Amino acid sequence: MISIAGRPVPVGTPLYNMTMRAWGTVHSYDGGVAILRFSLPNDRHRDVRITNGGFSQGVRVAYWHVPLVLDLPENSVARYQHVIDTLVQENF
């Protein structure tokens, strides 16, 4: 069984995939790889293989939630990074 952000991911778990920009459900496991299934029209589906940490083909794509994406002004990035670093240090 894989884990994402330190939490195990059992069959039936919904995960958000950044590449697909959609929610899928862990359908099954193939060894240590989760099969994330997406429903498509006409009773079809697409499966994506997810490894430990939420990776697919070496890129982090699977999350417990829709990830927060910030488009920050270039001159303010250092201040935002300081806030994020502080939150991480506090285990937020």
- DSSP secondary structure letters along 40-65: ETTTEEEEEEEBTTTEETTEE-EESS
The pLDDT assigned to 92 comes to 60
Q: How confident is the model at residue 4 (pLDDT cuts 50, 70, 90)?
A: very high
Question: Which pTM was predicted?
Answer: 0.77
The pLDDT assigned to 39 comes to 93
**For residue range 47-84, what is the model confidence (pLDDT) as tens digits?**
999 999 999 999 999 999 999 877 777 777 777 788 88
Residue 31's contacts (CB-CB under 8 Å, 6 or more residues apart) are none
Distances (CA, A) of 19 to 74, 83, 86: 25, 27, 29
